[in-house]
Each structure stands twice: as structure tokens, then as C-alpha cells.
Homo-oligomer: A and B are copies of this chain.
Amino acid sequence: MADGTVSDHKPGEIRRTFSTLSTGQDQNGVVQPLLTDLYQITMAYAHWKSEKRTDHAVFDLYFRKNPFRGEFTIFAGLHECLKFFNNYTFSKSDIDYLRTILPPSTEEGFFQYLSDMDLSQVTMYAIPEGSVVFPKVPLLRVEGPLPIVQLLETTLLTLVNYASLVATNAARFRMAAGPGKSLLEFGLRRAQGPDGGLSASKYCYIGGFDGTSNVLAGKLFNIPVKGTHAHAFVTSFTSLDDLKNRMLQPADQSKSLQNLVEMSQTWLDRIEGLLEILKEETHKGELASFISYAMAFPTGFLALVDTYDVLRSGIPNFVAVALSLHDLGYKSIGIRLDSGDLAYLSLRAREIFTKIADKYNLPWFAKLNIVASNDINEETIHSLNQQGHSIDTYGIGTHLVTCQRQPALGCVFKLVEVDGVARMKLSQDMEKMTLPGKKNVFRLYGHDGHALVDLMMQEKEEAPSPGQRVLCRHPFEESKRAYVIPASVEPLLKKYWFEGKICQPVQSLHDIKSRMESSLRSLRADHKRALNPTPYKVSVTAGLYQFMHDLWLHNAPIGELS
């Protein structure tokens, strides 16, 4: 309850591991082989007809540009990809449907091929979920029979793209707010439908949020859920006459019931001078709603104070009820501001709470939680920090879950090798070139533990060693190269799927969140700053550079300059 809202999920009471979610109540019932683009199926048929079904293909899943004008990305969605692999089967009803959309000439053998398909011949390497990742580096490397691996493209992209985007956005909000603040995700109502909301809750938690308002996300993923009340709750009361129950049991159960309405009115009398208001000014429907809420949640009282007038009505009403609760042995939590000038109002609120704390010798009153939640984006938080404010907790919805600043991450899934022969798609745009062939990736760290550079190489090349000098080249620009002597070396790609099974220990959401935190810590501050961050270097070995550029020349059509 430290965040000032009614409820924490009590860890341990419902033990639901992340991995057991693939059965039973699960948001991702729709993740199945048909959740794909039709062209994946038509390509599979053409490959099948061309007898390419045993060609051994290697695909890389990567993105070309970090989102949000930043210089890092948090990789998320891997666990969902593994669940998708684990459950990969075309049902009879899928096959029946495909018969209706493919041409009548489609051969029966192809439908049988799909019916029999499984991923036992597919191998997937991945960077661990929650890692900080960079452009061009494969997040997933998927190998296996060409038509089968091609079929996986769209679903893998849909599972990785939004997950990584929103986790990155959450991490940026966390960095803006600083480690001392609470961050709550309130985005369900503005997400891309029900599952968009659930995905947002899960991946924002990974990215550094403390909880969500989404109850189902709490239930499914064991994430803390938080919440208080809305304006409608306040306006549902018009006067103190609306209160039928007025008696509250003090915290000390041996004491007798007390009339919370009378106590609150008395306190309003006592504080009107101190708060420089007239007690008649405070809205009595609002006071009634606060009392009603306090009766229901005496240990979790947090009031939304901006329905009428924050300083003349909301805060005085809150203070009166909170002091009454204190007389009965209960500590209140705080207030929520959902409109107006959040910097000014939070400072004024803190001033009032401090006055009360001093006057009545209640030091905890000065530390009441102030929650702010009005259409907040990353820039709002930076601006609040500059102005000075007294907000403890941010509730963030729209801008977080829709990633308003950049609502899509452009991961792609590119064929890089068939039967041991490297492939690449040429492009006029150098940034769009594929890095061909099966590659390994290493992260090189300096003596201070910070990541220096990511280094891609051909699979046959020897891994870099700590203390050994290694040449790191820019993949496309000939003049950019540097020798690096790493203090330590981390192989980024690990084998996650092999012979039809997940072959790494399943990570809980909390494990992934921890990895995100440690991985982000290993990144130098200048790569992470909000304004003009320094790009992190992604490089290739001299061997891979030469190989790529030879292949590029070999593949380019012979033309004339025009």
C-alpha cells in the first residue's frame, strides 16, 4: 500500500507461475498458426510445390531504429513466442477454413503437410527477455525447414513488436520519474482493445512500473493492482443525507463504534482557519463520498480531490476525514489529482499537509501520498521535474499504452541463409540492408561493467575473449572502425527452442523485470538520457564485413548509373 492505493496483490497467496498460463484462462487463446498473414500460407504452398520443404533456412528477427528518439530498446515478448511454439498445430477447423480460401487446384498433399506440421525441426536462439537491445542485432534467430520457419514470421512479429515497444516506453517513464516514485499503469480503457490492455499491463510491469489498475492483469500475471475511486463516485453523492451508515469501528476493536460524519464535520470546523477556507464552501456531496469511501476502506483511504475545487473543497474535505480516521486509529494514504496544474497543486497540497502535521504533531501527515494522473506523458514528467513538484505516484494511461510518440516498433523477420548459403535483400537505402548469413552476437563490456559495443560475427568465427583486442567495424561505413579490448564478453544469443522443446528455464515476469533493471544499469547514462542520447555502437567483425560486402557486390544487378 506504500503507493497510496487500496490494494497490493499479496505475493504467494495466488501462486501462478508465468509458464502455467499456457493452459486454462489465458489472454492468448488467439495466438495460433492462423494468426498470420495469408501470404505466409501461400508462400508455404509455393515452397512445398517447389520441393523446397527440406531446405534449411535461417531467419533473423530485428529492428532497424530505436523507438521514441532514444538509443535503446527493451526486448520483450519472448515467453509468448515460446508458448506459441509449444502449441503450434493446425486444427482440423483451420484446415477446413484454408480449403475455402485457397484455390480449388491446391493439392491435397499440402493440407496433409500442414495437418502434420510441428516445430520439432525448428531451432530458436534468442536474447534473454528483458535485455537492453539495439538496432540490427538479431533478437531471435530461427532456423529450420524453409516453409515452416517462414510461416512463423507474422505471429513472432506481433508478439515481439508491441511487447518491446511498450516495455521500452515504460522504462523511459521510469527513468524520467526517477527510482523514488511509484508508477502505476492505468491504460486499459485506451488500449487497442481488451488484449492490448492486458499486454500493456504485463509489459509495462516488466519495463519498470510498480502496478496496474487492470484487475484481470493482476489475476493472470500476478502483478500488483491498484485503484481508488473516480469522479463519478464523488458525484454519486449530493449531501451528507446520502450517508446511511455513519458508524465506524475504531482500529482498536475493543472500542465502541464512532460517528464518522459528526467527527468529520467537527474537524472541518477546526481546520477552516488553518486552511483559510470557509467550511460552507466545501462540497457536501464530495465530503459524503469521502466518508463513504473511508468507511469502506479505513486502512486505505485515498481521495480524488479535484471534482469541484481542489484547494477550497477537495483537500479540506480530505483532511477532515483523514484526521477523523486518525482519531479512530487509522492512517490515511493520500490524495489523487486528475486535472489542473499538477506541479502547483501538488506543492500546495504538500504545504497544507505539512501545516497539519506541524499543528497537530502528526509527522506522517506531511508525507501523505500525492498521486497525479492527468494525461501524463514522458515530457510532462520532465517538465514537472524542472518546475518542482511534490508528486509521489504517477498514474499513466493513454501515452503509456498507445506509445503516442511512436506507436509501432518496426521489427522485421529476414531470411539470411538457405542450405548454408547466405541471402540478402538489397536496398537503395543502406539502413535497410540485411546482414546476411547465420550470425553470433557478443556484448563486450569495459572494466567499469558498462557495455561498450555489440559485435556480430559469422558463426564459424571465434568468439572474442576478455583481454584480447578485437576489431569492431561499422556494418556499412568503411571508415568507422575501432579496436576494443573487452574486460568481459557476453554471448547474447541463447538456444531457447530445440527438438520441439523449450530448452531454457522458464523465467517468471519478476525474473524478466529484474533482468531489465540490471541490463539497463549496464548501459552508460549518456545512451539513456532523454535529450540527444549518444548512439550505442553495434558492429561487425572484419570477417563479417568482408563477407557482406562481397555478397552485396555479387548480388547487385549489373546496371548503368542513371
Please give the residue numbers on chain A whose beta carbons come within 8 Å of chain B beta carbons, in ascending order.
5-10, 13-14, 25, 27-32, 34-43, 45-47, 49-52, 55, 57, 59, 93-94, 96-98, 100-103, 105, 146, 150, 153-155, 157-159, 161-163, 166, 186, 188-200, 213-216, 218-219, 225-236, 238, 242-245, 280-283, 292-293, 295-300, 307-309, 312-313, 339-340, 398, 401-404, 407-411, 413-415, 418, 421, 423-429, 432, 555, 557-559
**Interface residue from B43, B97, B190 paired with A229 (Cβ < 8 Å):** B43
Q: How far is the CA of A368 from the CA of B200 in the complex (A)?
A: 43
Known pairs A9-B101, A57-B236; list 13 more (Cβ under 8 Å).
Answer: A6-B103, A7-B102, A36-B215, A38-B215, A38-B225, A39-B227, A50-B244, A97-B219, A195-B195, A232-B414, A235-B425, A281-B559, A402-B402
16 contacts between A and B (CB under 8 A): A5-B38, A7-B101, A37-B213, A38-B215, A38-B226, A41-B227, A43-B233, A46-B297, A49-B295, A105-B299, A158-B189, A196-B199, A232-B425, A235-B424, A308-B426, A402-B407
Asked, given contacts A101-B225, A214-B35, whether A158 binds B197 with beta carbons under 8 Å apart, the answer is: yes
**Interface residue from B40, B50, B146 paired with A245 (Cβ < 8 Å):** B50
User: Whose C-beta in chain B lies nearest to the C-beta of A411?
Assistant: B189
**Interface residue from B14, B50, B97, B398 paired with A14 (Cβ < 8 Å):** B97
A298: which B residues are within 8 A, CB to CB? 105
Q: Are B216 and A103 in contact (CB under 8 A)?
A: no
Q: Are A213 and B7 in contact (CB under 8 A)?
A: no
Q: How far is the CB of A222 from chain B (nearest CB, A)?
A: 10
Q: Are A186 and B37 in contact (CB under 8 A)?
A: yes
User: Whose C-beta in chain B lies nearest to the C-beta of A187?
Assistant: B408
Q: Are B340 and A6 in contact (CB under 8 A)?
A: no
Q: How far is the CB of A190 from chain B (nearest CB, A)?
A: 4
Q: How far is the CA of A225 from the CA of B555 in the complex (A)?
A: 34
Asked, given contacts A34-B215, A193-B195, A219-B34, whether A228 binds B42 with beta carbons under 8 Å apart, the answer is: yes
Q: Are B6 and A42 in contact (CB under 8 A)?
A: yes
Q: How far is the CA of A1 from the CA of B292 in the complex (A)?
A: 63
Q: How far is the CA of A357 from the CA of B6 in the complex (A)?
A: 73
Q: Are A557 and B55 in contact (CB under 8 A)?
A: no
Q: How far is the CB of A287 from chain B (nearest CB, A)?
A: 12
A10: which B residues are within 8 A, CB to CB? 100-101
The 7 A-B residue pairs with the shortest CB-CB distance in the complex, in nearest-first order: A195-B195, A38-B227, A192-B196, A192-B192, A39-B227, A402-B407, A157-B189
Q: Are B425 and A150 in contact (CB under 8 A)?
A: no
Q: How far is the CA of A473 from the CA of B314 in the complex (A)?
A: 33
A242: which B residues are within 8 A, CB to CB? 50, 52
**Interface residue from B296, B414, B428 paired with A46 (Cβ < 8 Å):** B296
Q: Are A158 and B229 in contact (CB under 8 A)?
A: no
A36: which B residues are within 8 A, CB to CB? 188, 214-216
Q: Are A42 and B229 in contact (CB under 8 A)?
A: yes
Residue in A30, A154, A299, A413 with the greatest tally of chain B CB atoms within 10 Å: A30
Asked, given contacts A146-B236, A154-B188, A195-B194, whether A229 binds B30 with beta carbons under 8 Å apart, the answer is: no
A47: which B residues are within 8 A, CB to CB? 233, 236, 292
Q: How far is the CA of A489 from the CA of B79 in the complex (A)?
A: 55
Q: Are A233 and B46 in contact (CB under 8 A)?
A: yes
Q: How far is the CB of A164 from chain B (nearest CB, A)?
A: 11
Q: How far is the CA of A49 from the CA of B260 in the complex (A)?
A: 14
Asked, given contacts A30-B27, A195-B195, A402-B407, whether A35 binds B216 with beta carbons under 8 Å apart, the answer is: yes
A423: which B residues are within 8 A, CB to CB? 235-236, 238
Q: How far is the CA of A402 from the CA of B158 in the complex (A)?
A: 13
Asked, given contacts A100-B13, A219-B94, whether A243 binds B50 with beta carbons under 8 Å apart, the answer is: yes
Q: How far is the CB of A106 from chain B (nearest CB, A)?
A: 8
Asked, given contacts A32-B216, A227-B37, A300-B103, whether A192 binds B199 with beta carbons under 8 Å apart, the answer is: yes
Q: How far is the CB of A168 from chain B (nearest CB, A)?
A: 14
Q: How far is the CA of A153 from the CA of B13 in the complex (A)?
A: 28
Q: How far is the CA of A413 from the CA of B30 in the complex (A)?
A: 29
Asked, given contacts A398-B408, A404-B407, whether A233 binds B150 with beta carbons under 8 Å apart, the answer is: yes
Q: How far is the CB of A351 from chain B (nearest CB, A)?
A: 16
Q: Are A312 and B557 in contact (CB under 8 A)?
A: yes
User: Whose C-beta in chain B lies nearest to the C-beta of A203?
Assistant: B193
A411: which B residues are within 8 A, CB to CB? 189
